[in-house]
Amino acid sequence: MPRCLDPGARFELYLDSDADKPVDERPTFVFRVLSMREMNAALEDGKPGDAILSAALCDWRNMGNIPFSKESFQDVVDHHEALELLEALRLSYDAKKKSWSQPMCLSGISAATAETASV
């Protein structure tokens, strides 16, 4: 089955600055795989980085008292953290391409971990 059609295809990313926090307390973002059409639409957007993150983000955990909503994403990260997540998202996609037979979860992958996984 194509990865973007698997409703359970989710993976988690966290910021490098949160890597030392206990897993059950670590602020974590949950993303899904985008279809080619979704990615192309995001790339055509005036702010493709924002559009990709917004389209792929499907949940989060441990963000204090802020419940998940795509509109609140810009309230929980700054510009540099958004760029870090975007890069980790790209690297995690690259890592997934190399292992089609493995489950679609790179639980707890950070930008540094994603980079290592894609080498």
Domain count for the chain = 1
Please determine, for residue 90, whether its predicted confidence score (pLDDT) is greater than 50. yes
Does residue 20 lie in a domain region?
Answer: yes
* Whole-angstrom distance, CA of residue 41 vs CA of residue 36: 9
Residue 85 near residue 77, CB atoms below 8 Å: yes
Higher pLDDT, 21 or 102: 21
3-state DSSP assignment of residue 28: strand
Does residue 37 lie in a domain region?
Answer: yes
This prediction has a pTM of 0.76
Give the per-residue pLDDT at 97: 56
pLDDT, tens digit (0-9, with 9 covering 90-100), for 1-58: 677 677 667 889 999 999 999 999 999 999 998 888 888 999 998 889 999 999 999 9
Does residue 55 lie in a domain region?
Answer: yes
Does residue 106 lie in a domain region?
Answer: yes
Residue 109 near residue 26, CB atoms below 8 Å: no
Does residue 119 lie in a domain region?
Answer: no
Does residue 118 lie in a domain region?
Answer: no
Does residue 95 lie in a domain region?
Answer: yes
Token pair recorded at residue 93: 């996609």
Residue 52: domain span: 3-113
Give the per-residue pLDDT at 95: 65
